[in-house]
Amino acid sequence: MGDYTHILVAVDFTESAEKILVKTRDIAQRNHAKLSMLHVVEYMYPVDYVNDPVASNWVVDDVEMLENAKKSLQEFSTKHNLKNVDLNVQFGRPKHVISEFVRDHHCDLVIIGSHGRHGLSLLLGSTASAVLHAMPCDILTVKIEK
């Protein structure tokens, strides 16, 4: 058996997610590890939500958002011929959701891109940097070249 038993890859459906998933699949196979994929749906209310009567009447269908994300995650998994992968979609802030998932599911490796849809921070990117400091396990950040 390899060093890792349960690997979590956080995906955001960007082009870089393709590269991250290929590396993740290879690491999981070499370690004979369980693989979980997690997509976090991060919804932010309109800026003037509290002060704007029109915006405050805006209704978002949470169920539809989650279902669309689940469908996209399944298609992404199928595209990469992943079998026996645990697919997960949750609402929230990536830093918190990923950390909670790792603790609840006893993951021993998290794989995440060095930047994503939130843009570049100086070194890793805002999500990767936040996750790095919150993890109780090893983290592999895959450097994404522009």
| 30-39 pLDDT tens trace | 999 999 999 9
Structure tokens at 115: 């930047």
Q: CATH for 6-142, among 3.50.90.10, 3.40.50.620, 3.40.50.300, 3.90.1150.10? A: 3.40.50.620
Q: Measured between alpha carbons, how far is 15 from 51 in angstroms, rounded to an integer?
A: 37
Q: Name the pLDDT band for 144 (thresholds 50, 70, 90).
A: confident
Concatenated DSSP letters for the chain? --S-SEEEEE--SSHHHHHHHHHHHHHHHHHT-EEEEEEEE-----TTTTT-HHHHT----HHHHHHHHHHHHHHHHHHTT--SEEEEEEES-HHHHHHHHHHHHT-SEEEEES-BTTB--SSS-HHHHHHHHH-SSEEEEEP---
- CA 134 from centre of chain: 14
- pLDDT attached to residue 128: 60
| 96-128 pLDDT tens trace | 899 999 999 999 999 988 754 444 344 445 666
**All structural domains of the chain with their residue ranges:** 6-142
Mean pLDDT of the chain: 80
The residue written with tokens 């991060």 in the block is 42
- pLDDT attached to residue 58: 56
Question: What value does the mean pLDDT take over residues 21-28?
Answer: 92
Question: What value does the mean pLDDT take over residues 84-105?
Answer: 92
pLDDT over 90 (residue 8): yes
Asked whether the CA dihedral 2, 116, 137, 142 is positive or negative, the reply is positive
